[in-house]
Structure 1
Amino acid sequence: MKNYTITVQYDGTRYKGWQVQKSTDQTIQGKLQNVLQTLAGHPVEVIGSGRTDAGVHARGQVANFHLDEHFSMDEIFQWLNRYLPEDIAVIAIEEVDERFHARYHAVEKTYQYRIHTGIVPNVFERRELYDYKQPLDIEKMKKAAELLCGTHDYTSFCGNRKFKKSAVRTVYRIDVEKKGDEIRLTYSGDGFLQNMIRILTGTLIEVGNGSRELEEMTEILEAKDRARAGYTAPPQGLTLLHVTYEKDW
């Protein structure tokens, strides 16, 4: 058996997230596994770098799987792109060390959240935008973002209230930039909790619209209480841009 890694792009609009679920066949992982099973003739487990929520997109999701040696990389690559739905594409494939694990060996993930603040909707990119339609104070959002970076217990920003494991994560940076009627929040960290980026975004939006003060950011982190943070921004504005791995892999 050989170990392969693939880079996957998808429009998550009609999917229930990355992870396979018993209640639906509309998941990214499920679609990939089904197509690989038709090639291999037996079940193939596809391991993603992490889960994306229902409605969230990816431009650089990374996954790995093991497959019999008699299949060539080109054959696998062509098969995937021939039979996957039109809103999922494999843009790269590579043979890797048999020990490589897409989730365990990831050292940094970068996501971007796009907020449209103009009155006129962006018709052509509406599936990748949160159409907020209100102005936001970007300078205050930048200052608040700085306060939310670092190594912290991010329980206040976790959407899973029953989460039992450590909620300590390191957010390396949150870049806030304005491009015309759009504000882009780019998050990089060693990993993110369920709904974490969307809750961080909702909190930063509340700073930008004046309903929260900068001083609250530290208080929210220290409280370790989901009720203290802002609302959960909708999924369609969020895209996984890329995943970084240790150089050894």
Structure 2
Amino acid sequence: MPRYALKIEYDGAPFAGWQAQADQPSVQQSVEEALARLDPGFASGGRIAAAGRTDAGVHATGQVAHADMQRDWDPFRLGEALNFHLKPAPVAILAVARVDDQFHARFSAMERRYLFRLVARRAPLTHLRGQVWQVLNPLDVDSMRAGAAHLLGQHDFTTFRSSICQAQSPVKTMDEITIDSVPVPHGHEYRFYLRARSFLHNQVRSIVGTLERVGAGSWHPDRVRDALQACERSACGPVCPPQGLYLSGVGYPQDPFA
């Protein structure tokens, strides 16, 4: 059965997350239902595997999944057909590539990249509502960068790990945390770029929520180091809401969409 890699974009607001669930809408279910309309072999019980299982309300601009089809599709035509059958769900197939049977969207991945968008301004948001986390007061970018520096490299991230995380080990290697500030009307948008081979459950939201406390002046940057070394969930800052989080890309030894 030919295997295809799918690059997927979605608005996570109406979904209970990526993973298919019996009684709630999911991104995985939407894509699988579209695939089933196109391929009789897939309709008989096919499933897709994704690089990351995003939580309820989390978005993606570069999720990757793979699917085994019975029919040998031209990748461009498969993408066009899927986008037709995905309507009106806020899910889009950005690219499709034929891959060999050894490719696995999750296990072949070398890194995941996340973007978190935070807007600070007094006035309520209109155009970005549901797409960013809003706070009222501006943040100190340099202090947040100083706090983030303590998290780079390999550490035990128990403090920044959900209590229901199922990962076998809390030890992860954080390769990048970059924070940019972009002016927006009557405020600023802060963009947090995080890159690692893999992440723990709620790790990104826990880190950004903690760094927001640093930027607001409630935490000294060195307190991030102390929280990390405590290896206790209670030492973490508040976990920020999901609507500002995006799975922005997945890295592989060879880019299937190049």
Superposed, which structure 2 residues align to 1:21-170 within 5 Å? 21-24=21-24, 26-41=25-40, 42-86=44-88, 87-161=90-164, 163=166, 165-170=168-173
Residues 70 and 106 of structure 1: is their aligned pair in 2 closer, same or farther, counting only changes over 3 Å? closer
1:132 deviates by 0.9
| Unaligned residue ranges in structure 1 (runs of 5+) | none
- More displaced 10-residue stretch of structure 1: 102-111 or 157-166: 157-166
Cα deviation, 1:98-153, whole Å, max 9, x if unaligned, reads 11000011111111111110112342122211111112111100100111111111
Q: Distance in 1 between matches of 2:233 and 2:68?
A: 39
In the alignment, the residues of structure 2 paired with residue 111 and residue 219 of structure 1 have an alpha-carbon distance, to the nearest angstrom, of 24
How far, CA to CA, are the matches of 1:222 and 1:135 in structure 2? 28
- Distance (whole Å) between structure 1 residues aligned to residue 132 and residue 167 of structure 2: 32
For normalisation by structure 2, the TM-score amounts to: 0.91
Offset from partner CA, 1:132-176 (integer Å, 9 cap, x none): 111211110010011111111111111134646111111111111
Q: Work out whether residues 3 and 95 of structure 1, in 8 Å CA contact, stay in contact via their aligned partners in 2.
A: yes
Contact 1:177-1:183 at 8 Å conserved across structures: yes
Residue of structure 1 in register with 2:251 after alignment:
244
User: 1:111·1:186 contact (CA, 8 Å) conserved in 2?
Assistant: yes
Q: Distance in 2 between matches of 1:248 and 1:46?
A: 19
Normalization by structure 1: what TM-score? 0.94
1 CA distance for matches of 2:84 and 2:247?
23
Match of 2:228 in 1: 221
2:237 to 226, 230, 240: 230
CA contact (8 A) 2:16 2:56 kept: yes
1:156 and 1:223 in contact (8 A); partners too: yes
Match of 2:130, SS state, is helix
Match of 1:4 in 2: 4
Tell me if 1:186 matches 2:193.
yes
SS in 2 for 1:104: coil
Cα displacement (A) at 1:248: 8.1
Unaligned runs of 5+ in 2: none
CA distance in 1, matches of 2:164, 2:53: 17
Number of matched pairs: 248
The answer (yes or no) to whether the contact 1:33–1:43 under 8 Å persists in 2 is no
Mean CA deviation greater in 75-84 or 234-243: 75-84
* Structure 2 CA distance for partners of 1:163 and 1:185, relative to 1, 3 Å: same
Aligned to 2:13, the other structure's residue is in SS state helix
Question: What corresponds to 1:201 in structure 2?
Answer: 208
Deviating above 6 A after TM superposition, structure 1's stretches of 4 or more consecutive aligned residues are: none
Measure, in 2, the Cα distance between the counterparts of 1:89 and 1:189. 25
Q: Shift of residue 10 of structure 1?
A: 0.3
Distance in 1 separating the partners of 2:92 and 2:165: 34
Matched, 1:15 2:15: yes
Change (3 A) 1:71 1:163: closer
RMSD across aligned positions (CA) = 1.5
Helix, strand or coil at the partner of 1:35: helix
Letter of the aligned partner of 1:244 in structure 2? G
Amino acid in the other structure paired with 2:52: G
Determine if contact 2:46/2:68 at 8 Å carries over to the other structure.
yes
